Amino acid sequence: MTTVAAYAKLTLSLRITGVRPDGYHEIDAEMVTLDLADTLVIEPGRGVILEGGHDIDADDNLITRALDLVGRTARVTVTKRIPPGAGLGGGSADAAAVLRWAGYADVAGSARLGADVPFCLVGGRARVRGIGEQVEPLDHLPRTLTLLTPPFGCSTPAVYRRWDELGGPQGENGNDLEPAALQVEPRLEQYRRALEEASGRLPRLAGSGSTWFVEGAHPGADRRVVHTVPAR
C-alpha cells in the first residue's frame, strides 16, 4: 500500500494564443502548485473508491485512464479536498499522482489524459504553452493566496465554446476566459464581488472557473488561504 498526495494547481494568468484546426485552443499560461491536495491510497486490486462526498464514474475517470496509460492495475481510494469543477485541476492532479507512483515521466505523453495533467506531473511553477503539453519550469516564488470557490462548477468545454462565440476576447484581468465564463455562469459575478469586498483586491478567475482568487491572506467564511509549493 502506498499513500500519495495530489496537489491542486492554480492558473495565475491565461492567454489564448490560437485555435488549432482540430479545435483545441493553444495557451500561454503561468501555473503554480498549491498546498491543497487530495490523498490517494494505492494498493493491490482494482477500482476507484471515492471518499469525501463527491461523485465519480468508477469506469471512466482520470485515475482509471492514468492506470491504463501506464499498463498497471490498482485499487485507489481517494480522499477529495480539491473541489471538483473549480478550475483547480483536481482530476488532473489525481491522474498525475498515479503517473508519478508508476514512474511515468513523459510530460508530453501525459497530455493524452487532459490539458492540465502535464503541469500537474511537473508541478511547482511553470510557463505552460501549446495545448498544455509544453511545460517550462520556473523558479519557485513563495506566495500566499486566498481562494473563494462557489458551490457550483464551470464546464471547461462550455466556457471555451463561449469564448469562440464571443470572437476571442482578451480578459482585462489576466485571464482571457473570464468574459466567457461570466456569460456561461452569471452567478460567478456575486462571488467575485464578495471576495473583492473581503480583500479590497480585484479577484481573478482560476482558469475556466469557478474559483476566484486574490493575493494575500484573507480568511473568512467560504474562503481558503493557500500557499504555493515547489515541485516535489
Q: What is the pLDDT of residue 142?
A: 97
On whether both 8 and 63 belong to a single domain, the answer is: yes
Helix H or strand E encompassing 147: strand 144-148
Looking at per-residue pLDDT, the higher value among 55 and 146 belongs to 146
Q: Does 53 score more than 80 pLDDT?
A: no
Nearest to 14 by CA among 93, 128, 139, 126: 128
The single residue of 38, 94, 116, 176 carrying the catalytic annotation is 116
On whether both 36 and 130 belong to a single domain, the answer is: yes
Residue 80 bears catalytic tag: no
Asked if 9 and 35 touch (Cβ cutoff 8 Å), the reply is no
Residue 148: Cβ-neighbour burial (10 angstroms; 0-12, 13-18, 19+): buried
> How do residues 62-91 score in pLDDT, each as one tens digit?
999 999 999 999 999 999 999 988 999 999
On whether both 131 and 154 belong to a single domain, the answer is: no
Count how many domains the chain has.
2
Q: Does 59 score more than 90 pLDDT?
A: no
Final residue of a domain: which of 138, 170, 187? 138
On whether both 27 and 66 belong to a single domain, the answer is: yes
Q: What is the pLDDT of residue 221?
A: 86
The single residue of 9, 38, 80, 176 carrying the catalytic annotation is 9
Look up residue 6 and give its amino acid. A
- pLDDT level of residue 15 (50, 70, 90 thresholds): very high
**Region 32-40: what's the mean pLDDT?**
97
On whether both 158 and 101 belong to a single domain, the answer is: no
Look up residue 14 and give its amino acid. L
Residue 28 bears catalytic tag: no
The cell for 15 is: 492567454
On whether both 164 and 130 belong to a single domain, the answer is: no
- Concatenate the DSSP letters of all residues of 67-102 into one string: HHHHT---EEEEE--SPTTSSS-HHHHHHHHHHHHT
Nearest 5°: phi and psi at 83? -65, 140
On whether both 110 and 51 belong to a single domain, the answer is: yes
> How do residues 177-220 score in pLDDT, each as one tens digit?
999 999 999 999 999 999 999 999 999 999 999 999 999 999 99
On whether both 120 and 176 belong to a single domain, the answer is: no
Q: Does 45 score more than 70 pLDDT?
A: yes
Range of the domain at 224: 144-229
Q: What is the pLDDT of residue 23?
A: 86
10 Å Cβ neighbour count for 196?
15
